[in-house]
Structure 1
Amino acid sequence: MSTFSIFLALIVVVAFLLVVVIMVQNPKGGGLSSSFGGGGTQQLGGVKKTTDFLDKSTWTLATLLLVLILLSNVAINRGGDNLDSKALDADATTTAPIALPDVPAQTTNDAEPANNTPE
């Protein structure tokens, strides 16, 4: 298992945890849900310590996700040491395209079948 695969697995796990933590949080303010009459029911069961924990864990997971994404760039296998473009190299040899033989086009009338015998 490569280093990039490990980073990729960690990124998926952290992203899933971040989605779960965000979905668990209670909405803080009047947003769209309070416009439709849901504003009074959002305060039921809200605990200040839980909100602080979820808020801190959201920022921690978001920062961890960003760091993992940036570090995974270092771990990508680039496949070789030569990263230069051959399009910019003046000494690079190119192959000519293969010339196909000319094939005469056959035109036939759709109403009459093609007859190759002379009359």
Structure 2
Amino acid sequence: MTTLLIILIIATSVLLSFFVLIQNPKGGGLSSGFAGGSNIMGVKRTSDFLEKGTWALVIALMVFCLAINIVGPSGSSTTGGGLGDQIEAPQQVPNLNLNNTAPGTTSPAPAQTPADTAN
């Protein structure tokens, strides 16, 4: 089912691209080529067809995208190989007591050297 939806999304996207590229950005579209007084056969309706076709393809693309999200594998499944498998939980690092002091006490201040006191 997912493969069918992916194929429908790709086909709809390609058709939508053609419909958008055919249209004239100023609203003339294909009817601008027949503007020489030959409106007898209804060439004015070409832009209406392209506009309605564009809207229909946009709506179909949205429906297919929503359907693939509903039908597709859910994020809670353990068999999916998503990012959940790649994320590791942070590890607890034991407190290393390098100053040899008792736990809960602060370490003594470092001794000043003669070079520190000269400044």
With the length of structure 1 as denominator, give the TM-score of the two structures: 0.51
Q: Aligned to 2:5, which of 7, 12, 18?
A: 7
| Deviations 1:28-82, CA, capped at 9 Å, x for gaps | 25xxxxxxxxxxxx94425311110000000000010011001100121248745
**Aligned residue for 1:19?**
17
- For residues 81 and 22 of structure 1, the distance between their equivalents in structure 2, rounded to whole angstroms, comes to 39
1:106 is aligned to none
The alignment yields a C-alpha RMSD, in angstroms, of: 3.3
Partner SS, residue 25 of structure 2: coil
Q: Which has more radius of gyration?
A: 2
Runs of 4+ in 1 over 6 A off after TM superposition: none
Residues matched between the structures, number: 75
Measure, in 2, the Cα distance between the counterparts of 1:58 and 1:71. 20
Q: Equivalents in 1 of 2:34, 2:9: separation in Å?
A: 32
- Mapped partners of 2:65, 2:33: distance in 1: 37
Provide the C-alpha distance between the structure 1 equivalents of 2:52 and 2:22, rounded to a whole number of angstroms. Answer: 13
CA distance in structure 1 between the partners assigned to 2:14 and 2:60 by the alignment: 12
Counterpart of 1:34 in structure 2 is none
Match of 2:62 among 50, 66, 73: 66
- Can you give the 5+ residue segments of structure 1 that lack an aligned partner in the other structure? 30-41, 86-93, 97-119
Equivalent residue, structure 1, for 2:52: 56
- Unaligned residue ranges in structure 2 (runs of 5+): 36-42, 85-89, 93-119
More contact order relative to length (CA 8 Å, sep ≥ 6): 1
Task: State the 1:10 CA deviation.
Answer: 0.3
User: Where in structure 2 are the equivalents of 1:24-63 lying within 5 Å?
Assistant: 24-28=22-26, 43-45=32-34, 47-63=43-59
> Equivalents in 2 of 1:13, 1:62: separation in Å?
12
Higher helix share: 2
Tell whether 2:72 aligns with 1:76: yes
